[in-house]
Structure 1
């Protein structure tokens, strides 16, 4: 007697990097591009970059996104390539704010097909495996916009120099930064790459400068 085998069809792999090539380009040239809204898994916190809270957030995010990916793939629902870790910084002045008080949101982009229920289910799977309570990353929709982007090669401590270059470029193009919308994407693993060889994409969301005018001219 023939036995029927239940086979789960492997879903096609979604490569978000190919859908937005500019956003993850390693080009050393300045890029000026538009992007639509994206979906991210996000963990927010306050503390020094590289500190305990920051490191814990990274571990939580990576553990979660890999479990999510292979759970969905195993069920034949969805498969996707995991993109680099990104950080969205809060609206503060790093020159006058203690690093211990820096606010940040660590993110990894995922396909928009990923649902809140799938995120909750993944959290339960991790809790059952590790026996720990887990607050799952938040599913966040980030608005699109116009971006100026440069590749920073070197230690994270010198990222400010690249931001300065982007600000100058924005000024020359009659653009102004959008408050709270500067981001970094980390292309290198600092555990395996020397500081001087670290690659980081630095992005500044910009808009046309507003013209000042008098409502009631004399």
Structure 2
């Protein structure tokens, strides 16, 4: 069976639908950074998603090409994730999507090196006829966080964030949202195939001890 990050690291991908504290270790990601409304047809966000998946699947299928990656094993491409912020706003204002800045990411297996990544960007660009050069190899170390499984539409996320905030206040923590520690979402449902009220999204905030 291919390695599945969601199943092997359940504490990071499948939390309960109530707040919990986790320490998230550093990991490598394919990342594309941009800004604008994620719902804009043909916009920057949708372009970023195409790039992410093109590079991700090129790496996943590398064993069927001449590219040999040391330590490679078959795996399920991890879910799409996003880090979100707006200038001058603490947290996220869901009513002003045009003001969003984002870093969209897909986790990489540890065996993928920067050289392997660069090969995948070049290969995907040629095979898909898609400029994948905006993709970056990033190491992200989230550290101490609070997270929750949000079930429902993206616009209903403030209710789950409020639960996390209340939990922090009751347990001696506070949010630590900064320019480098951002609101984080992990998308476990395909919005094209899942009713909004049934969508599952992990919401994660960086925190610190009061």
Give the TM-score, by structure 1 length.
0.81
Matched residues in 1 for 2:128 and 2:200: separation? 33
- Give 1:191's aligned residue: 192
2:156 corresponds to: 158
1:66 CA displacement: 0.8
Change in Cα spacing, 1:113 to 1:103, as seen in structure 2 (3 Å) is same
2:28 corresponds in structure 1 to: 39
SS at match of 2:155: helix
CA 1:21–1:131 in 2, change beyond 3 Å: closer, same or farther?
A: closer
Which structure has more relative contact order (CA 8 Å, sep 6+)? It is 2
The higher radius of gyration belongs to 1
CA distance in 2, matches of 1:158, 1:96: 9
The verdict on how the C-alpha distance between 1:96 and 1:185 changes in structure 2, with shifts beyond 3 A counting, is: closer
Work out which of the residue numbers 16, 34, 38 in structure 2 matches 1:27.
Answer: 16
Q: Give the distance between the partners of 1:62 and 1:34, measured in 2 at CA.
A: 27
Q: What's the counterpart of residue 56 of structure 2?
A: 65
Q: CA RMSD of the aligned region, Å?
A: 2.2
Q: CA deviation at 1:32?
A: 1.7
- Secondary structure, aligned partner of 1:108: strand
| Alpha-carbon displacement from aligned partner over 1:129-173 (angstroms, at most 9, x marks no partner) | 244443152111111412211111111111122112111111111
Which sections of structure 2, spanning at least 5 residues, go unmatched?
Answer: none
1:85 shift after superposition: 0.6
Equivalent position SS for 1:152: strand
Q: Distance in 2 between matches of 1:170 and 1:16?
A: 27
How far off its partner does 1:125 sit? 1.5
Indicate the residue corresponding to 2:75 in structure 1. 80
Task: Find the partner of 2:113 among 112, 115, 131.
Answer: 115
Give the TM-score, by structure 2 length. Answer: 0.84
Question: What is the CA deviation profile of residues 23-63 of structure 1, one whole-angstrom value per residue up to 9, with x for unaligned ones?
Answer: 11153233222221111111111001222111111111112
Q: Distance in 2 between matches of 1:49 and 1:148?
A: 24
1:176 aligns with 174
